[in-house]
Structure 1
Amino acid sequence: MTKKSTMQNKTIIIISIIVLISIFFGIKYFYTQSQSEKAIALSKKQSLLFKRDSSFTIGPDTAKVQLVEYFDPACEGCAKFHPYVKEILKQYKDDIQLVLRYAPLHEGSEKIAVILEATKKQDMFLEALEMSYKYQQSWAGHSGHNLNNLLQIISNLGLDMKKLVEDVKSPEIQNVVMKDIEDMKKLGIRKTPSFYVNGKPLQQFGLQNLKDLIQSEIDK
């Protein structure tokens, strides 16, 4: 074998090695990119279980803590715990954002959720929710809910009731509640209120336990 042939063979080997290395790193790069894109997509999908664009929020999006409450408007525990949630919001101020999601576990509660969702069209959701909690015993029942009583109660807020009745029929409004129900089922929620702090479920229900979980996230 001539010296020239030997040099040519070495050159071919070097080029082959460079090509193989390039292919290896190319595959690795695209695999990494693919995995990254999948992770981002999964993260976005997971985040929807806690907050959707339609979700009612109190507090800044930049808050350190996202407190998600899945509630049933007919739930006695939700009504009793609501004032404590308001105290938590005052205590932590800009460090927390509350996200309210529907979990209508009581029979017929999805109709109440639709009514409350419709009040958003008149910027009266929180007022309607608190009014429904305050007079819960007047309209909520284990064998069924008295929708007329609830409508009469929230009408005292000065709502345009004709518009509200029309908005309740809207597929857009009903779809929001259905999406919350779907997310509730994916999370396996079987009781209300159910709380999540930065995606972490409150394992043992209780005011102090909730505050401890929030504080641990703020301290990070």
Structure 2
Amino acid sequence: MSKNKVIVLATTVFVILGFVSAAIFYKTHQEEQDSKAAKEKETLFIRNHSPQMGPDDAPVKLVEFMDPECESCRMFFPFVKNLMKKYEGKIQLTIRYVPFHGNSKFAIAILESARKQGKYWETLEILFKNQPAWGNHHQPRPELIWNYLPMVGLDVDQIKKDYKDPAWTKIIEQDFADARELGVRATPTFFINGMPLRSFGYQQLEDQIKENL
């Protein structure tokens, strides 16, 4: 091999190594910056009032900003529920509220009132199951929610008293403020260990959870 060819080859290898090193440096730096940003916003993800499922020491903290009247949230609910079973003990799910739809605040007040009776997750599931009826965008009938509550063993008379509690309004306002600060513009929006879901989809959500395991 001639001297010129050796020089060209060496130069090419040097340039390639430079690009690879730069790419690795940029990726590492970006991950550090993202992690730092997530740490700074840590208090925005979970509040003391936030409903949670899963152990506190779970390696994956999954935060979902959702709206009980949102069709996409309804579609994701069984998938997230299956993920909690599939990776039992490894995920802690936190629910935050972003009431973009007209009857969402009413539904949230019902959910929070049901939580006082220890029936939060059962009530959330029954609301999603029947959402096409009570939350129909063309002709919503939120009053139908009262008919579903006995199905999960709730004391409906007590719910009718508790759902008027002004505390629910404060919870909704805090969640909405945190959502805006985090740039949440649609529901459901997921964060995994403080990092936003890179691309929206069922498999993408599971893949990013697996990465954090």
**TM class by shorter-chain length?**
0.7 to 0.9
Contact 2:190 2:196 in 1 (8 A): yes
3-state secondary structure, aligned to 2:41: helix
Change (3 A) 1:143 1:108: farther
> In the alignment, which of 109, 121, 124 is matched to residue 126 of structure 1?
121
- How far did 1:45 drift? 7.2
- In structure 1, C-alpha distance between the alignment counterparts of 2:167 and 2:192, rounded to whole Å: 28
The one-letter amino acid paired with 1:121 is K
Q: Does 1:194 align with 2:189?
A: yes
Deviations 1:79-125 (A, max 9, x none): 11111101111121111101111111112312211211111111111
Indicate the larger mover: 60-69 or 98-107.
Answer: 98-107
Contact 2:103 2:135 in 1 (8 A): no
Q: Does 1:147 align with 2:125?
A: no
- In structure 1, C-alpha distance between the alignment counterparts of 2:137 and 2:40, rounded to whole Å: 34
- How far did 1:77 drift? 1.1
3-state secondary structure, aligned to 2:95: strand
Q: How does 1:43-62 map to 2 (within 5 A)?
A: 46-62=41-57
- In structure 2, C-alpha distance between the alignment counterparts of 1:193 and 1:43, rounded to whole Å: 19
- How far did 1:135 drift? 0.8
- How far did 1:172 drift? 1.9
- How far did 1:171 drift? 1.9
Cα RMSD of the aligned pairs, angstroms, is 1.9
3-state secondary structure, aligned to 1:156: helix
3-state secondary structure, aligned to 1:48: helix
3-state secondary structure, aligned to 1:60: coil
Contact 1:116 1:125 in 2 (8 A): yes
- In structure 2, C-alpha distance between the alignment counterparts of 1:47 and 1:70, rounded to whole Å: 15
Q: How many residues align?
A: 177
2:99 alignment counterpart: 104
3-state secondary structure, aligned to 2:198: coil
2:206 alignment counterpart: 211
> In the alignment, which of 82, 89, 107 is matched to residue 84 of structure 2?
89
> In the alignment, which of 139, 156, 161 is matched to residue 166 of structure 1?
161
Change (3 A) 1:128 1:91: same
Contact 1:107 1:144 in 2 (8 A): no
4+ aligned runs moved over 3 Å, structure 1? 42-45
Contact 1:69 1:194 in 2 (8 A): yes
Deviations 1:36-75 (A, max 9, x none): xxxxxx9887223211111111111101110011111111
- In structure 2, C-alpha distance between the alignment counterparts of 1:74 and 1:164, rounded to whole Å: 19
Deviations 1:179-209 (A, max 9, x none): 1111112122121111000010012111111
Gaps of 5+ in 2: 1-36
3-state secondary structure, aligned to 2:125: helix
The one-letter amino acid paired with 1:61 is D
3-state secondary structure, aligned to 1:190: coil
Contact 1:69 1:193 in 2 (8 A): yes
Q: Highest CA radius of gyration, 1 or 2?
A: 1
> In the alignment, which of 59, 77, 82 is matched to residue 72 of structure 2?
77
- In structure 2, C-alpha distance between the alignment counterparts of 1:73 and 1:106, rounded to whole Å: 9
